[in-house]
Amino acid sequence: MSTEAFSQPVRVAAEQFATAFHESMSLYTGDLSAAWAPGRVNLIGEHTDYNEGFVLPLAVDRVSAFAGRARADQTVRLWSTHFNHYAQFSLDGLPETFEAQREALPGWARYILGVATELARAGIPLQGFDAVVSGDVPLGGGMSSSAALEVATAQACALFSGGKFTIGAEDATLAPLQVAALCQRAEHIASGLKSGILDQAASCLGQPGKAVLLDCRSLAYRYLPFRAPEISLMVIDTGVRRELASSAYNERRQQCEDAVEILRGQIEQHEPENQQAREIKSLRDITQEQFDRYKQELPEILRKRAGYIIKENERVLQVVALLEKNDIEAVGAILWQGHAGLRDEYEVSCEELDALVEIAHQVPGVLGARMMGGGFGGCTVNLVRTEAVEVLSEAVMRQYPEQTGRQASIDICRAAGGPGSVTL
């Protein structure tokens, strides 16, 4: 099958396979095949996932992709088009051999090993393969390149397993959200980052023209329309790669857990008749009224962190109500509010992100903007009237370097479908 119908990363990976791996065909047991998974834009609901709250992401038309062939043994060999680097590991002995093999791999390949390890831990039969890895999800830019790579890895492992396991909605070995949870665990062991399930779920559940409301506790989800020709979704990359300092990210998570402990104690003490107090497990369970009543018992830093999360869950549900009425334009005002909370209360923004949001705020036709992703760098997401796209682009290209000494890059994204695979 021609690769012309596929996205650029799939084509690039397929075209480079013969050059990257030029062994005898007797080494392989199957046809050249490709698997991919999308990155995501999170419209609203930042840092709420690991607080068992609500998120509203959409998969986008940027993917991580594998193109390769199954092998007759348990070896996995990889060539990254982005890093121009080979990596190799063995499926034999996983998950026990994970730590020893991890240390010998470059960072990008550790995510792939992590997914294979979690599949093995789940008792899924695996088979070796050679593959070229490509992608156009900006690395470290807040569009979840790591989650796209992880979900694409799961698709590739299924593709090259010779039918030993399948991924899908019905009668499959793994359902989409099982894949998301498995890939979330893979990220934890590969990077040490205790991330929530938002990124992997968004990649697994993508549908064209749809955002998905996900309850990160129950994993219940439903789709909402997100398609308006007169409004564009712009992702603007700061060019800052302060890798989500695991320490700062994990610190936020711990602060939220500490706030829950104190607030639950206050509710139990002052509301002994409240039978639900003992069931409080996360900030998602604290109402705004309860928070307002007991927030003075929190140290200031915990008060700010918890206040942001509780408000952000409310913002997600406000946006859902607007999308149900197909009022995408009104969503913009809530994005400005979300950025202010991330900057002032959760304190995960940075000078460059704030500069992009402020530039956007000054351009007529920009409905709303906020930083996106874990923070400390990466991208902003902007809702923009289509006729204002060029004006905002010009403003960013002129003002951002003047203010920061950096160059920004701009992508126009669409809500796109989820992962897939094909024999080429």
Give the residue numbers annotated as catalytic, written as ranges: 199
What backbone phi and psi angles, to 5 degrees, belong to 70? -70, 145
The single residue listed with the structure tokens 């920004």 is 408
C-alpha to C-alpha distance for 353 and 385, rounded to whole angstroms = 21
DSSP element (H, E) containing 237: strand 231-237
Indicate the SS3 state at residue 1.
coil
As given in the structure block, the two tokens for residue 15 are: 């075209």
Give the CB-side neighbour count of residue 85, counting CA atoms within 13 A. Answer: 9
> In degrees to the nearest 10, what's the CA dihedral of 161, 162, 168, 170?
-130
The answer to whether 297 and 271 have CB atoms below 8 angstroms apart is no
The answer to whether 62 and 137 have CB atoms below 8 angstroms apart is yes
What backbone phi and psi angles, to 5 degrees, belong to 9? -60, -40
As given in the structure block, the two tokens for residue 212 are: 């998905």
The single residue listed with the structure tokens 């003047």 is 402
Q: How many CB atoms lie within 10 A of CB 269?
A: 11
The answer to whether 421 and 154 have CB atoms below 8 angstroms apart is no
The single residue listed with the structure tokens 């998570």 is 253
DSSP string, 47-114: S-GGGT-EEEEEEEEEEEEEEEEEBSSSEEEEEETTTTEEEEEE-TTTTTTHHHHHHTS-HHHHHHHH
